Amino acid sequence: MISSIDKNNMYQAIKDFPSHLKEASDLISKIKIKNMPNKVTNLVISGMGGSAIGGDVVIEIVKNDIDIPIQVIREYNLPNWVNKDTVVICSSYSGNTEETLSAFEDAIKREAMIFGITTGGILGKKLNKHNRDKIIIPKGLQPRAALAFSFIAILYYFRKLGILKSSFGKWINVGINRIEKNQKKYCLEKISNPCYLLAKNIYRKVPIFYSCSTSYSVIAKRIKGQLAENSKMLSYIGELPELNHNEIEGWKNNENILKHFVVIWIKDSNDHPRVKIRQFISGKILKDIGIKQFFIEMDGESFQDRFLNMIHFGDWLSYWCAILHKSDPTPVTKIEKLKSELESY
């Protein structure tokens, strides 16, 4: 029985992704922003882990609809160029992420406009103290399972700021409908489920996810994180075309290690034409040395629709890898131990 392994019901948390998207849209659309900047020259999204990936997702899916620079920061300090015309979004699910709290203080010193996304914690208190706008999202989830709330919150805030050139309601609704349809098979412990089948092929290997740098590099990063936290597995990522200029040469020596690797190509119809050719040739080179390879590609009306569904596919892939390893996907004991020991320094 799955429930004997998945004691904390990560199954339901993943299955709830489309309902989280709906709930987030309803909740966040009602938020009123009190502090509107007169000028925005650039944006920074500060966060770590599951809270940071929401920023990555937003940047990727609206990159053609925003004309100002946006950067996700996963560290204690903000870039030197942050100033009073910068919007800094501090995203921390718990509200206690020390790197994000440090970035908040840095933003205060630089007189930047600050917006918070959290369930509360220390960040919530600091936002209240400094009278900064925030969105309080639901508690009770693992941060990595709260992705819908973090990235929808950023989208709505961008719309409130007036920096989005187009609406996003249509493709979100289309994406939700397709996710609901796809997950009817993704949630099944059967070979007919493509997520489960791929998990069966990779869970005893070290997966390497390759994607086009202009389409699914964020997806690869998300899957890597999910495999680490849910499946307790190491995996690695790389991007085309860059890997053709260095990494492709690494597939030669240490044959005893290479035999444990498996490559998963994450593809999209929107990939650059030359990247599609590079992927084909790279695949042939790897095949010649006996590297097992798999492909993931989504159908969908728009890139955003396919992007959301690829996220959901990756989440289920990590779940089934965890079940095949007989590992409860929810606990993150090493992260908790590290946090505990950090408190003594």
Residue numbers annotated as active site? 229, 245, 339
For residues 272 and 302, the answer to whether their CB atoms sit within 8 Å is: no
Q: What number of residues does the chain have?
A: 345
CA distance 32 to 23: 17
Q: How far apart are the first and last CA of the chain?
A: 42
Q: What's the burial of 15, exposed, middle or buried (CB within 10 Å: 0-12/13-18/19+)? A: buried
How confident is residue 96, by pLDDT bands cut at 50, 70 and 90? very high
Predicted TM-score of the model (pTM): 0.95
Q: What is the pLDDT of residues 3-45, one digit of tens each?
A: 899 999 999 999 999 999 999 988 888 888 898 888 999 999 9
CA distance 127 to 117: 10
CA distance 206 to 199: 12
Q: Which of 29-33, 98-102, 178-182, 314-318 has the lowest mean pLDDT?
A: 29-33
Residue 201: closest CA among 288, 294, 286: 294
Give Cβ neighbours of residue 17 (< 8 Å, ≥ 6 apart).
147, 148, 179, 183, 311, 312, 315
CA distance 108 to 132: 10
Q: What is the pLDDT of residues 189-235, one digit of tens each?
A: 999 999 999 999 999 999 999 999 988 999 999 999 999 999 999 99
pLDDT score recorded for residue 301: 81
In the chain, what are the domains? 31-167 (3.40.50.10490), 184-324 (3.40.50.10490)
